[in-house]
Amino acid sequence: MLEKELKDIVGEKWVIESDEKKLYGFDGFTAVRGEPRLVVLPGNEEEAVKVLRLLIKNSVKVIVRGSGTSLSGATVSLTGDEVVVSLTRLNKVYSQKGFEIEVGPGIVNAMVTMNAPPHLFYAPDPSSYQVSSIGGNISHDSGGIHVVKYGPTFNSIISLRVLLPNGEVEEFPSSPVFNFSSIFIGAEGTLGAVLRARLRLYLKPKFKKSIFATFNSIRDAGKAIVDVFKSGVIPSALEMMDKYSIIAVENSRYKAGIPEVDAILLIELDGSQADFEERRVKRVIEDNGGEMLNVKDPNKLWNARKGAFPAMGVISPAYLTLDCDVLRGYLPDVLVKIREIALKYNVYIANVFHAGDGNLHPLISYDPSDFNSFYRAVKASDEIEKTVIEIGGVPSGEHGIGIEKVKFMEVYYDETSLNVMKRIKNVFDPYNLFNPCKMFGNCKVENREVKVLWEWD
Amino acid sequence: MGMGLEEALKCVHCGFCLEACPTYVVTKSEIHSPRGRITAFKLGINSDGFQTCMFCRRCELACPSGVKYSEIIKTVRRPNPLEKIAVKLLDRPVSLVPFLRMLRINAFIPLEHREENEDLILFPGCLTSVVFRNSVEKVLNYFKSLGYKVSVYNDMCCGLAHEHIGEVQEGKERIKRLKDVFRGKVVVSLSSNCTAHMRENGIENVYDLAEFLLKFNLPLPKRDGEVTIHEPCHAHLLGIDNYIRPVVEKMGLKVAESEEPSFECGAGGDFFIFNRELSEKVMEVKKEKTLKSGVKTVISTNPSCSLAFLKMGLRPIHIADLL
């Protein structure tokens, strides 16, 4: 029996077959709740390999999971046949040399920097960096506030060790030709399981400056964002929060004393040029009608930004989080349009996002006990995504397609591209064992929430 | 709607609490995490995780949505029969002595001291009164030397232990009675988590020792050496631990920084007795974090934490010991 064989590998208490497996039924995306067949928590890489091989041999569907903070529902078991393999216990640091560190997939993002020499740091920092795991970060090519200067996870991966859906473990050397590891970055666990990662570390900048500026119009704030880059400055972070996000944060434990203005820009400059750049950025802000906000403790504002998503809990107990990208120049237009959409569907939408790289995060709140409220939120989300794609934007910048954005795939990609993707999936995973129903959908699911998410009206 | 449910519905399942939770850190299992426990509560699953909660409430500080987790877990925690007896003993610390000796913990008869029209009441906390009697004596002598009239109060537990194991009503009764006993008096507590519990429940006239020393600007002796500071979980939740560092520094001690000083010590009230394996794993992590400071002497102002540090082979000292 499968349960018994799994227990023989990992030990009795690390296989969850009771009702408690429902605790692994969903992640940071709460709209759709599943229930896995079983949950297994291997204690090390060797056990993980044995567990995955056993599941593959028995043609059992697999969902590889880390901390379970996905915002697109990447780890939800939609059919109930899937076994969730949690790799959270594979959280070792294997080695650290020069500007590289080798870690297990379960290690928490923040722990990478903690384990690095004091003069180095791991750059990608999604807002969930205190809890989200590197395996999940790789599988979603996670970004964060420092993407604008250091790039998303992709730029910090040197090489990977991966278990493929045929059960083989491959260690890809770092390579300038056919960057083997790259295909697994952003694959959302559909092509195999990341077992180890060699990550790139950066020198910690000696100087850092924070600038906060408030604006009475999102248009002015949007223009200031573009002008910062035009002035020749590449900030290490450039974030924006709109009025509705400020209201949520100021009512949460992240309260930072931000005035209820139309928009606030949070800018960080790092490196030896920071002083000089600060003067330029301040000038840009003044020219665009912004006002400098002087604060005693800049960290308080940055923490407010990082806690802004879950702080939405004070507005409503659930929300959809989009992560579409647009060219920076289009930000003002899109933000104005999002406000119109919010009014049209009568939903509360807060915008808090990585403005520097045009990565929007409309948070669309809804009441999970009211289906109509969920329906309206999804319709608002549909319209925002369509707006973004129409002007040349991308449906998902860093949270992944998961369950949430399946239907936008066919809007954004043409048929040829979609076919190429499906062929790649088929080459790696011909029996469709790894993270089924994600990204391409393609599952018969009798769940009304999924139907609303996957089907157009 | 029950208080627990109201709080549970605020949870957006973001997972920001995971790494704040000592039992999650050592198991990496959703079952033993605040998010998992809240979900189990919502889904009506009788999860093992309810019993493994150490009740440090660090998750409440980590929660961006402001979920008061303690209100949820209190409603589902059920004491085991031994726990029920153990908390009963807390009201008469002297009766704890044989119990603690059975656990090979050195325990003494509590120090009794009463004065008419006292200026302040010294509240050692039940465990402190029998395990760290020496500290009680030191602080009593200190206050007397400054001319204070002091009475030591050993007659009732603050109720934190009761709340921890889910005996909410019992806990509330104790707070109510202590409120009456302490009315119009100034109380100085030697157990920081008890201080926090009493304060949070409306007994405003209780000071933590460090807080009292600082607020009333009492004379402090000069001490040499290097220490690291532990921030007891409940005191940390209320910010009462903020007084410890300035007092230590005023005494001239050098403070070495440990990693996450508010991380759970591993004792978790009576947790270390009934969940030994988990407790020992948490202590291992705590020891590692503490030793990052490079010193073995830890300022610990809460008795169960001090016991945990002793178990780790470290040297806990109370502010009282420095007076």
| Residue B221 counted as domain residue | no
**Residue where one domain finishes, among candidates B155, B182, B215:** B215
Q: What's the gap in Å between the CA of B3 and the closest CA on chain A?
A: 16
* C-alpha to C-alpha distance for B60 and B240, rounded to whole angstroms: 16
When pLDDT is averaged across residues B172-181 and rounded to a whole number, the result is 94
Q: What is the pLDDT of residues B229-276, one digit of tens each?
A: 999 999 999 999 999 999 999 999 999 999 999 999 998 877 777 888
For residues B186 and B282, state if they share a domain: no
- CA angle, residues A344, A345, A351, in degrees to nearest 5: 90
CB–CB of B295/B228 below 8 Å?
yes
Are B151 and B189 found together in one domain? Answer: yes
B117 and B204 within one domain: yes
Which residue is closest to A67 within chain B, CA to CA? Answer: B15
Beta bridge partners of A15: A40
Please tell me whether residues B72 and B88 are part of one structural domain.
no
Alpha-carbon span A165 to A169, nearest angstrom = 9
Question: In this complex, do A311 and B65 lie within 8 Å of one another by their Cβ atoms?
Answer: yes
Residues B194, B96 share a domain: yes
Chain B residue closest in CA terms to A249 = B64
Contacts of B62 in chain A (CB under 8 A): 130
Token pair for residue B314? 């470290």
Residue B220 covered by a domain? no
Closest CA–CA distance from residue A372 to any residue of chain B (Å): 18
Rounded-to-integer distance, Cα B54 and Cα B21, Å: 9
User: A152-166, A202-216, A239-253, B259-273: lowest mean pLDDT where?
Assistant: B259-273
Distance CA A305, CA A249 (A): 8
In the stretch 245-274 of chain A, residues with CB closer than 8 A to chain B read 252-254
The shortest C-alpha distance from A125 to chain B (Å) reads 14
Mean pLDDT, chain B, as a whole number?
93
ipTM of this complex prediction, to 2 decimal places = 0.94
Last residue of a domain, one of B47, B76, B105: B76
Mutate to test the interface with B, among A19, A77, A131 (most CBs of B within 10 A): A131
Report pLDDT digits (tens) over B185-231. 999 999 999 999 999 999 999 999 999 999 999 999 999 999 999 99
Instruction: Examine the domain organization and report whether B108 and B176 are in the same domain.
Output: yes
| CATH number of the domain encompassing residue B39 | 1.10.1060.10
Q: Which domains does chain A have, with CATH numbers?
A: 2-86 (3.30.43.10), 93-203 (3.30.465.10), 208-390 (3.40.462.10), 406-454 (no CATH)
Is residue A137 a contact partner of residue A109, using CB atoms and an 8 Å limit? yes
Q: CB-based contacts of B250: which residues, under 8 Å, 6+ apart?
A: B214, B220
In the sheet that holds B120-123, the strands lie side by side as B150-152, B120-123, B187-189, B206-208
Confidence (pTM): 0.94
Contact B36 A23 (CB under 8 A): yes
Does residue B92 share a domain with residue B16?
no
Say yes or no for a CB contact (<8 Å) between B47 and A309: no
A30, A69, A91 member nearest B28 (Cβ): A91
User: Which tens digit of pLDDT belongs to each residue from A145-171?
Assistant: 999 999 999 999 999 999 999 999 999
Mark yes or no for CB contact A28/B43 under 8 Å: no
A 108-127 residues inside an 8 A Cβ radius of B: 108, 110
Provide the domain limits for residue B301: 226-322
- The residue of chain B with its CA nearest to that of A367 is B9
In a domain, B161, yes or no: yes
For residues B177 and B91, membership in a common domain is answered with yes
**How many Å apart are CA B246 and CA A397, to the nearest integer?**
46
Domain limit, last residue, from B215, B239, B258: B215
Contact B13 A88 (CB under 8 A): no
Give the pLDDT confidence of A114-136 residue by residue, as tens digits: 999 999 999 999 989 999 999 99
**Phi then psi for A353, rounded to 5 degrees?**
-160, 170
DSSP B42-85: HHT---THHHH-----HHHHH-TT---HHHHHHHH----HHHHH
Domain CATH number, residue B304: 3.40.50
B230 and B201 inside one domain: no
Residue B21 lies in a domain: yes
- Judge if B116 and B55 occupy the same domain: no
Average pLDDT over residues A436-453: 92
Cβ atoms < 10 Å from Cβ of B131: 24
Query: Same domain for B188 and B253?
Result: no
How many whole angstroms separate alpha carbon A117 and alpha carbon A130? Answer: 18
B63 contacts A130? CB cut-off 8 A: no
pLDDT band at B1 (very low <50, low <70, confident <90, very high): very low
Query: A23 and B18 in contact by Cβ < 8 A?
Result: no
Per-residue CA distances from A285 to A258, A351, A356, A357, A372 (Å): 17, 20, 14, 18, 42
- Looking at the structure of chain B, the number of domains it has is 3
pLDDT tens per residue across span A311-328: 888 888 899 999 999 999
Do B197 and B241 lie in one domain? The reply is no
- Chain A, 288 to 327: residues with Cβ < 8 Å from chain B are 307, 309-314, 317-319
For residue A89, list chain B residues with Cβ-Cβ distance below 8 A. Answer: 28
A154 forms beta bridges with none
Judging contacts by C-beta atoms under 8 Å, the chain B residues touching residue A128 are: 14-16
